[in-house]
């Protein structure tokens, strides 16, 4: 009888721990807005949390995964200094953090494959960003106007860099472009006057536009790490 009671107690404890673990993924910042997606999961936007300095996006909402940051989701959240994005997020919509002028650092989850158009446009205090190896393309003006951005490392798997991606990143001093990059759009590095670009390619690939460097950055070909 005593063994039976102990077994029941252990099952109850296990059930409670399961609930606690499940709920732990849902402890995000209050005031965020959620939008149900066709697959039953959720996208998230800033909602009433717009003027907070720190935001934590939960991995789950109502028992379903939070997989997307909505288009314009946190746009112009001017007080936002820090945001925690869970690995459940697989997509960040265009202009999601555009105009977040106080944010200084951000880490992109390792399930993201594309940084969309203008995602970090005019994030003027962004100093550091971690781009995972899963990212294969960076959209138009994604980092345009990030005037404080001092360093960035492109993942080895990246293949496409679109127009004006780093336009006016005037504090960016060096960047390495991996050999697998097949295309770079117009003026991707325009007005990056302090930048030295190290290209693993020995000469300009056919898919790189003539004005890809913006004519303002210094370019080194045939770079080897």
Instruction: Residue 131: give the domain boundaries.
Output: 104-225
* CA 165, chain centre distance (Å): 14
DSSP alpha helices (H): ranges in the chain?
A: 2-24
| Residues 212 and 185: beta-carbon distance below 8 Å | yes
Residue 58 falls inside a structural domain: no
**DSSP-assigned beta bridge partners for residue 83:** 55
Q: For position 143, which CATH number holds? A: 3.80.10.10
Residue 26 falls inside a structural domain: no
Helix (H) or strand (E) holding 44: strand 42-45
d(CA 29, CA 13): 28
Q: What is the pLDDT of residues 75-111, one digit of tens each?
A: 999 999 999 999 999 999 999 999 999 999 999 999 9
Query: CA angle at residue 135 from 157 to 60, to 5 degrees?
Result: 145
Number of structural domains found in the chain? 1
Question: DSSP code of 217?
Answer: S
Residue 171 falls inside a structural domain: yes
* CA 61, chain centre distance (Å): 20
Its pTM stands at: 0.86
Q: What is the pLDDT of residues 37-85, one digit of tens each?
A: 999 999 999 999 999 999 999 999 999 999 999 999 999 999 999 999 9
- What's the whole-number average pLDDT of the chain? 90
The residue ranking higher by pLDDT, 19 or 203, is 203
């Amino acid at each position: 009888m005593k063994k039976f009671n102990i077994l029941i107690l252990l099952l109850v404890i296990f059930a409670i721990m399961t609930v606690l673990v499940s709920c732990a993924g849902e402890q995000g910042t209050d005031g965020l807005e959620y939008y149900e997606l066709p697959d039953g999961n959720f996208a998230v936007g800033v909602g009433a949390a717009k003027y907070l300095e720190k935001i934590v996006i939960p991995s789950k909402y109502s028992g379903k995964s939070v997989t997307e940051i909505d288009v314009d989701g946190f746009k112009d959240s001017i007080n936002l200094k820090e945001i925690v994005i869970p690995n459940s997020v697989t997509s960040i919509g265009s202009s999601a953090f555009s105009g977040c002028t106080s944010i200084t650092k951000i880490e992109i989850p390792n399930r993201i494959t594309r940084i969309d158009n203008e995602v970090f446009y005019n994030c003027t205090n962004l100093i550091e960003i971690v781009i995972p190896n899963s990212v294969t393309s960076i959209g138009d003006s994604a980092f345009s106007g990030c005037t404080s951005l001092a360093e960035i490392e492109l993942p080895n798997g990246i293949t496409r860099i679109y127009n004006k991606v780093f336009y006016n990143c005037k504090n960016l001093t060096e960047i390495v472009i991996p050999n697998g990059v097949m295309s770079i759009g117009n003026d991707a590095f325009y007005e990056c006057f302090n930048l030295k670009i190290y290209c693993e390619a020995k000469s300009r690939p056919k898919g790189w536009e003539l004005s890809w460097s913006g004519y303002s950055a210094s370019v080194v070909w045939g770079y080897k790490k």
